[in-house]
A and B are shown apart, each in its own frame.
Chain A
Amino acid sequence: MINGNFKTNYEDEIKIFQTTFVKFWLVILFVGLIIFPLVADRYFIYLCNLCGIAIIGALGLNILTGYTGQISLGHAGFLAIGGYTSAILSTKLGIPFWLAMPLSGIMAAMAGMIVAIPSLRLKGLYIAITTFAFGFIVDHLIIHWESMTNGPSGITAPRPSLGVFVFDSDKSYYFIIIVMVILATGFARNLFRSRVGRALIAIRDRDIAAEIIGINLTKYKIQAFSISSFYAGIAGSLMAHYFDVITFENFTLMLSIQYLAMIIVGGVGSILGSIYGAIFITLLPELIRLLTDLFRQEYPSLTTRFADLKSVTFGLIIIIFLIFGPKGLYGVWRDIKVYWKNWPFTY
């Protein structure tokens, strides 16, 4: 009996779907995702859509921060560029969503390349500050370039349509988001089976060593930034067409920090971690909302009095994860899996 997932050659090692077990659960997941919108109410579908958008954004940030080691505090800026590009292209030029979305990704990727240039000379905290400043520049541009962005009043992007069918309900938009999440996850998973992905990991682990083994730092750092911002751009575009109006308030510094929290809580440098983290951070405030709701009849003022609990919980969870589970939810999940696999024998 084989009790373990042993690999005997290199091809097995880099397979995307490693076991029949994984394949089986993925099929179950896929069927579940299709059935979900048919049974859930609009509130849950909305939350699920938020999770989907967050997953795409978090995957992007994890490629840059988790895999390449470049801390970014300007992720909201890239989301904003994506969102506004898509909204402007579709309202001012009448370009359909299906073209505006990839274009907004490309636009954000170009901005990412520009931000990457100083990063070639800067490291660690300094690159964090550069990206932080970038977020403010984008913010300023949105507020003051009124002829283009409509200033602080925000901009309304139309819902996507295909022929006569308009994706104007949460349910129909859900399917667009799910397809994008699957594409984004698939691409990211594949990226780290390729030379590019491994080069990025090498840069994170030790950039000097990476250079010695023949990795062109300039090229790969710029690539990491552009791929990451492309993801953010797509997420921003999905946001822009989903909400009735987007303003600069949708893309504050808090959003960048939330994305960082997602990858820290989920697992830095892990695809699955990005997904867990994005879902966890998006649903956490809603979970507390539903919990306080249970006691609403008995304690009506609970919402007002314990609303601050959310902020406290948010901070506490990040601290707890940093101290006790630095590998994030993904690490916790793996540890549990290993524990039960070997149970009752520790080793």
Chain B
Amino acid sequence: MVKKVSEVLILVGIVSILGLLGAEGAEVGVTDSTIKVGGVMLITGPIARYGTAAADGIAIYCKYINEMGGINGRKIDLIMEDDGYDPVRALAAAKKLIDRDRVFAFITTSGTPQTHQIVPLLGKENIPSLSGIIPQMPVADPPRTAFTFGMRYGHQMILATDYIMKDLKAKSPKMAILYQDDEYGKEVKWGALLACKHYGLQMVAEETYKRGAVDFSSQVLNLKRANPDYVYLATVIRETPIVLKEATKLGWAPVFIGNSSYCDESTIELSSRDAPEVLKKMIQVHYLSRFFEENPEMSQLKAGFKKIRPDIDTNKLLHYHILGWVNGLIFCEGVKRAGKDLTREGLIKGWESMSNFNTGGLAGIISFGPNKHFADTSGRIFKADLDKNIWVPITDWRKPSFE
């Protein structure tokens, strides 16, 4: 008798569990009127200035889309979590978003160490994610749910070398590199070495520094001693002006080659007074439009910013604001293409169908594909305009001559 009762109980249990599963029906995080979207971002921590800007850009785009009536009748409910540039806290944020908030997809997965932790988990749970803060996927073997856009730092270095060799027609210049001792520095160095090998150039000096360093006198002195014509600079926001000033102090003015991780007006503000000569010669690579450029999407962006966050001066937008907006744009395009019957699988298919997607001039052409989850865009070369304190593009959008 006892056995019978327990059998019945087990049966009832199984049936009720199945019932619960069945009740879910529609995709997690999607209702008829809303889509719950999660994001993890470095809003505090060492590069909070950029993280906050990107988070703002994404949030403003989502709000803008909501005010325009949403996507296929659904409004975006965005939940952005801070990780403080800590991979462990990023994972906590991701788990909270998945289990407590039950989000449909991830709009961003924060910086390199955080993406390292989050993306494999999202792969296991089959939750689609987009990432644009770092212009490459740091995970060696990313799951099929992970999408990334941007221009690899390595490719940016190749593009810069192309410019030096083809446009400036330099005669076997001597190259050198100063890089941060981490994943980012390694990536820049990879591209720089590849470009040197391709053009048969000599790398006369390689210097490194630890993240957070504030003194570069020995590195710059060593670089000067090797006397290169061009120096690839894999530094970040604070270090760049210090290096430029240090070179000026030593009376040395090579051409520094910058990349998108710090191609920001603050570099000019911080070094135009103490290192004008070096700054004028410097070239930068970037894959996004700048706030002063005129194009249809940019005016939409500015209108959106003015309406939703009037406290942000649209004449002082960081490129991370624009990056955030582009991130939102690509995310929402995928959702739109997934159609009225929105599923996670549909979103992945939606992104995969985005070949030659035009961002309206905010960035180069974005191309995903069924086996291509990293959309490598094109970039441009910039030079500093010290009177207006801005970086001005001096070339068209182009792709590196080889990869």
Q: Do A and B come from one complex?
A: yes
Interface locus among B4-12, B179-187, B284-292:
B179-187
A310: interface (CB < 8 Å)? yes
Q: Are A310 and B82 in contact (CB under 8 A)?
A: yes
Q: Which residues of B contact A143 (CB under 8 A)?
A: 181-182
Q: How far, in angstroms, from A297 to B46 measured CA to CA in the complex?
A: 28
Chain A proximity of B40: nearest CB distance (Å): 11
Chain B proximity of A255: nearest CB distance (Å): 9
Chain A proximity of B138: nearest CB distance (Å): 8
A153: interface (CB < 8 Å)? yes
Q: How far, in angstroms, from A143 to B86 measured CA to CA in the complex?
A: 18
B140: interface (CB < 8 Å)? yes
Given the known interface contacts A41-B100, A247-B113, A304-B52, the answer about A46 and B92 at a Cβ–Cβ threshold of 8 Å is yes
* Most chain B CB inside 10 Å of its own CB: which residue of A41, A151, A247: A247
Q: Which residues of A contact B93 (CB under 8 A)?
A: 289
Q: Are B43 and A245 in contact (CB under 8 A)?
A: no
- A50, A140, A153, A250: the one within 8 Å of B92 (CB): A50
- B43, B56, B59, B117: the one within 8 Å of A243 (CB): B117
Q: Are A285 and B89 in contact (CB under 8 A)?
A: yes
B193: interface (CB < 8 Å)? no
Give A239's nearest chain B residue, CB to CB.
B88
Q: How far, in angstroms, from A250 to B84 measured CA to CA in the complex?
A: 13
Q: Which residues of A contact B198 (CB under 8 A)?
A: none
Please report which residues of chain A, range 288-317, place their CB below 8 angstroms from some CB of chain B when the two chains form the complex.
289, 296, 300-301, 303-304, 307-308, 310-311
Give B82's nearest chain A residue, CB to CB.
A307
B167: interface (CB < 8 Å)? no
What mask results when residues 235 to 265 of chain A are scored 1 for a CB within 8 Å of chain B, else 0? 0000000011101111000100000000000
Q: Are A307 and B99 in contact (CB under 8 A)?
A: no
Given the known interface contacts A43-B100, A46-B95, the answer about A300 and B182 at a Cβ–Cβ threshold of 8 Å is no
Q: Which residues of B contact A308 (CB under 8 A)?
A: 44, 48
Given the known interface contacts A296-B79, A304-B56, A304-B59, the answer about A311 and B87 at a Cβ–Cβ threshold of 8 Å is no
Q: Are B96 and A152 in contact (CB under 8 A)?
A: no
Q: Are A244 and B82 in contact (CB under 8 A)?
A: no
Give A292's nearest chain B residue, CB to CB.
B82
- A50, A136, A154: the one within 8 Å of B88 (CB): A50
Q: Which residues of A contact B99 (CB under 8 A)?
A: 41-43
Q: Are B116 and A307 in contact (CB under 8 A)?
A: no
Give the number of residues in B that approach A within 8 Å (Cβ atoms). Answer: 39
B329: interface (CB < 8 Å)? no
What mask results when residues 150 to 181 of chain B are scored 1 for a CB within 8 Å of chain A, else 0? 00000000000000000000000000000001
A286: interface (CB < 8 Å)? yes
Q: Are A47 and B183 in contact (CB under 8 A)?
A: no
Please report which residues of chain A, range 274-293, place their CB below 8 angstroms from some CB of chain B when the two chains form the complex.
285-286, 289
Q: Are A301 and B92 in contact (CB under 8 A)?
A: no
Q: Which residues of A contact B55 (CB under 8 A)?
A: 303-304
Q: Are B92 and A310 in contact (CB under 8 A)?
A: no
B276: interface (CB < 8 Å)? no
Please report which residues of chain A, range 176-210, place their CB below 8 angstroms from some CB of chain B when the two chains form the complex.
none
Q: Which residues of B contact A300 (CB under 8 A)?
A: 59, 78
- B96, B117, B182: the one within 8 Å of A245 (CB): B117
Interface residues on A, range: 35 or more
Give B184's nearest chain A residue, CB to CB.
A152
Q: Are A250 and B87 in contact (CB under 8 A)?
A: yes
Q: How far, in angstroms, from A204 to B7 measured CA to CA in the complex?
A: 63
Q: Are B82 and A245 in contact (CB under 8 A)?
A: no
Q: How far, in angstroms, from A304 to B41 measured CA to CA in the complex?
A: 9
Q: Are B87 and A247 in contact (CB under 8 A)?
A: yes
Chain A proximity of B54: nearest CB distance (Å): 10
Q: Which residues of A contact B140 (CB under 8 A)?
A: 153
B91: interface (CB < 8 Å)? yes
What mask results when residues 72 to 109 of chain B are scored 1 for a CB within 8 Å of chain A, else 0? 00000011111010111101110110111000000000
Q: Are B43 and A307 in contact (CB under 8 A)?
A: yes
- B96, B98, B116: the one within 8 Å of A247 (CB): B116
Give A285's nearest chain B residue, CB to CB.
B89
Q: Are A154 and B95 in contact (CB under 8 A)?
A: no
Q: How far, in angstroms, from A301 to B89 measured CA to CA in the complex?
A: 20
Q: Are A152 and B88 in contact (CB under 8 A)?
A: no
Q: Which residues of B contact A247 (CB under 8 A)?
A: 87, 113, 116, 183
- A42, A153, A249, A289: the one within 8 Å of B87 (CB): A249
Q: Are A43 and B96 in contact (CB under 8 A)?
A: yes
B120: interface (CB < 8 Å)? yes
B237: interface (CB < 8 Å)? no
Given the known interface contacts A143-B181, A304-B55, the answer about A289 and B96 at a Cβ–Cβ threshold of 8 Å is yes
Give B93's nearest chain A residue, CB to CB.
A289
Q: How far, in angstroms, from A245 to B98 measured CA to CA in the complex?
A: 19
Q: Are A303 and B182 in contact (CB under 8 A)?
A: no
Q: Which residues of B contact A254 (CB under 8 A)?
A: 86
Q: Are A303 and B80 in contact (CB under 8 A)?
A: yes
Give A314's nearest chain B residue, CB to CB.
B84
Chain B proximity of A54: nearest CB distance (Å): 10
* Most chain B CB inside 10 Å of its own CB: which residue of A143, A245, A300, A307: A307
Q: Are A289 and B82 in contact (CB under 8 A)?
A: yes
Q: Which residues of A contact B81 (CB under 8 A)?
A: 289, 303
Give A154's nearest chain B residue, CB to CB.
B116
Q: A285-B89, A303-B55, A307-B82 provided; 5 other pairs, C-beta below 8 A?
A: A42-B99, A46-B95, A152-B182, A245-B139, A304-B56
Which B residues contact A (CB, under 8 angstroms)? 43-44, 48, 52, 55-56, 59, 78-82, 84, 86-89, 91-93, 95-96, 98-100, 112-113, 116-117, 120-121, 138-140, 181-183, 186, 210
Q: List 25 A-B contacts (CB under 8 A).
A: A42-B95, A43-B92, A43-B96, A43-B99, A50-B88, A50-B92, A143-B181, A152-B182, A152-B186, A153-B138, A153-B140, A153-B183, A170-B95, A243-B91, A245-B117, A247-B183, A249-B112, A285-B89, A289-B81, A296-B79, A304-B56, A304-B59, A307-B44, A307-B48, A310-B84
Which A residues contact B (CB, under 8 angstroms)? 41-43, 46-47, 50, 136, 139-140, 143, 151-154, 170, 243-245, 247-250, 254, 285-286, 289, 296, 300-301, 303-304, 307-308, 310-311
